[in-house]
Amino acid sequence: MAGAAAAPVHITGEVVTKDPPPCLAGLPRRAGARPRIARQYPCPQLTDATDPRAQERLVARARRWPGVDVAAPRQTIPGGRALVLAEPLALGQGEAFILGREFAHVRADGSVHCALAPEWAEPVLRDGWGEIHPLALYGLIQPQSLILYAPRDAAEHEAVAALLLAAYAYACGHVVVGTP
């Protein structure tokens, strides 16, 4: 992941499969203990100090990807920002979206609510980058819904940006390449 030459993100003609997308190759294990996530809506991250600019930095990166707009989430998430995919590009499964064409909510604390294909999520969960959204455990939202932990430093920001790019590919329904 680190040291990759910057390349603009673009959508290929290749349809996503169960195989993890290129942006997840080389995802390292997240260091340290997992932060606590509140079990009640909106399920914020409760512990583990983060970079106070994490939300701003993640949103700025995603805004550069084809067809991504930033809006207030359709759900009440204090200080959250929704990443919304343009309709012509929103070709992924319905489970890839939170509401409408919103494929991710970047929260004020820097954590991210998004969805990944179950096969893609397995290493993300195993390597400590996030957890199944508490509301998914109760069947209240899509079972593919995850909360990615807020990045604590620049290296973790790169990893979370790559995970967010995977959520974007899942929502597009096509393989996406480039530097997140």
Report the CATH number that the domain containing residue 159 is assigned in CATH.
3.90.1150
pLDDT value at residue 5: 53
Q: Rounded to whole angstroms, how far apart are CA atoms 138 and 143? A: 9
In a domain, 63, yes or no: yes
78 lies in which domain range?
A: 46-177
pLDDT value at residue 18: 94
Looking at residue 40, its amino acid is Q
Q: What is the mean pLDDT of residues 28-53?
A: 91
Closest CA to 73 of 100, 92, 55: 100
Q: What is the mean pLDDT of residues 2-26?
A: 84
84: its two tokens: 């919304």
Asked, as a colleague might, if the bond just before 42 is cis with ω within 30 of 0, I would say: yes
pLDDT value at residue 7: 82
Q: What pTM was computed for the model?
A: 0.93
In a domain, 104, yes or no: yes
Query: What is the maximum span of the chain, computed from C-alpha positions, in angstroms?
Result: 42
Q: Rounded to whole angstroms, how far apart are CA atoms 73 and 21? A: 26
Looking at residue 116, its amino acid is L
pLDDT for 3 beyond 70: no
Q: Rounded to whole angstroms, how far apart are CA atoms 149 and 133? A: 11
Q: Rounded to whole angstroms, how far apart are CA atoms 103 and 6? A: 24
How many structural domains is the chain composed of? 1
In a domain, 18, yes or no: no
In a domain, 37, yes or no: no
In a domain, 24, yes or no: no
Q: What is the mean pLDDT of residues 6-12?
A: 87
Q: What is the mean pLDDT of residues 89-108?
A: 96
Q: What is the mean pLDDT of residues 143-152?
A: 95
Q: What is the pLDDT of residues 73-95, one digit of tens each?
A: 988 788 899 999 999 999 999 99
In a domain, 90, yes or no: yes
Mean pLDDT of the chain: 92
User: Per-residue confidence at 2, pLDDT binned at 50, 70, 90?
Assistant: very low
H helix intervals, 31-153: 54-63, 118-126, 134-137
Residue 83 class from Cβ within 10 Å (0-12 exposed, 13-18 middle, 19+ buried)? buried
Query: What's the full length of the chain, in residues?
Result: 180
